[in-house]
Amino acid sequence: MKRFLILPALLLIFGCDEPKNLGPRIPESPEQAKSMQAETAEQAGIPAERSVEIADGVMMEFVLIPAGEFHMGSPSSEAWRESDEGPQHAVKISRPFYLGKYEVTQRQYEAVLGPNRKFKFRGDDFPAENIEWRQAGMFCNAASNKAGHKMRLPSEAEWEYACRAGTETAFNTGATINPNQANYNCSQSYQGGRTGSPLDRTCKVGSYQPNAFGLYDMHGNVCEWCQDIYKSDFYKKSPKVDPVNDGRKGARVIRGGSYIHPPVMVRSAERNKRIQGADRRYLGFRVLMEVEEH
């Protein structure tokens, strides 16, 4: 697991300072994020929340994420940030999309792909974990065919935009995070946050409060696979609109941290990676469903 410390002075040397003159940023607060969500639903004539059948009698809940702009990555002032989180840059998500309200559960996974003996912490409403990136893709394809809607993994830009939900702080909970806000290794603290006794296991999805978009467990529980191939310097040359580092080979991005990770590794901007076949006991995923054009 990568983890190394970067001093702010070194970040300046490597060109990872805060962005300047990035223009308007929307949404600019959690309240505005929620308002944009409702406005998008009304203007497009689509629901802000949807429930879709992905297997016989098994549903998946989605929430609408509006199009918008945000600052992707972390500023050099953010404690314990890493070089691959910069330079912080303006990104535009040009189209609204639906994102799973919860991480994919074991009930949903097995209904679509059949029994899985590799789940470590069993429970229908617990997240599917110990999942390979290709398995997540297989799930999305099979669920798409059943539901009649295109489903896929989110890009890491879509993931971070949805996670932040109008915030620019280290977490969507604010400048720090506490044990009653997410399932992570809370024996350690971040910037004065409270410590506690970690669960040392996954918990039922939706056990903590959602962010402003209505998404649960964007911090902690299980790390979530993204569509992108990981590159540490991708932000230096990534597109400004709907960026995704797509391809066939390479380690894939994981986001959000998990129950085993300290708070620094469940931040909104934290980036990590895994290759096919690597240790994945804390890896799960969340599904994006595209909004059909009318």
Residue 207 inside a domain? The answer is: yes
pLDDT at 22 over 80: no
Residue 7 inside a domain? The answer is: no
Residue 109 inside a domain? The answer is: yes
Proportion of the chain above pLDDT 90, given as a percent: 86
Report which of residues 10 and 69 the model is more confident about.
69
Q: Name the CA radius of gyration of the chain, rounded.
A: 18
List the structure tokens of 139.
């799930």
Residue 5 inside a domain? The answer is: no
List the structure tokens of 98.
């639906």
Nearest CA-CA partner of 208 in 197, 200, 219, 199: 219
pLDDT tens across 23-80, in order? Answer: 335 898 999 999 999 999 999 999 999 999 999 999 999 999 999 999 999 999 999 9
Distance CA 76, CA 85 (A): 9
**Which residue range is the domain that position 152 belongs to?**
21-290
Spatial CB neighbours of 242, under 8 Å, sequence gap ≥ 6: 92, 93, 94, 95, 155, 157
Strand boundaries in 107-246, DSSP class E: 151-152, 223-229
Could you identify the residue written with the tokens 């959602």? 210
Q: How many domains does the chain have?
A: 1
CATH for 51: 3.90.1580.10
Residue 37 inside a domain? The answer is: yes
Distance CA 266, CA 16 (A): 20
pLDDT at 18 over 60: no
Task: Give the CA distances from residue 6 to residues 84, 85, 174, 190, 262, in Å, rounded to whole numbers and listed in that order.
Answer: 10, 11, 22, 16, 17
Could you identify the residue written with the tokens 């009318």? 294
Distance CA 278, CA 110 (A): 22
Residue 13 inside a domain? The answer is: no
Residue 10 inside a domain? The answer is: no
Q: How confident is the model at residue 294 (pLDDT cuts 50, 70, 90)?
A: low
Q: How confident is the model at residue 277 (pLDDT cuts 50, 70, 90)?
A: confident
pLDDT at 8 over 90: no
Helices (H), the chain: 8-13, 30-44, 106-113, 133-147, 156-164
pLDDT tens across 160-173, in order? Answer: 999 999 999 999 99
Distance CA 294, CA 292 (A): 6
pLDDT tens across 100-138, in order? Answer: 999 999 999 999 999 999 999 999 999 999 999 999 999
Residue 65 inside a domain? The answer is: yes
pLDDT at 3 over 60: no
pTM of the model: 0.91
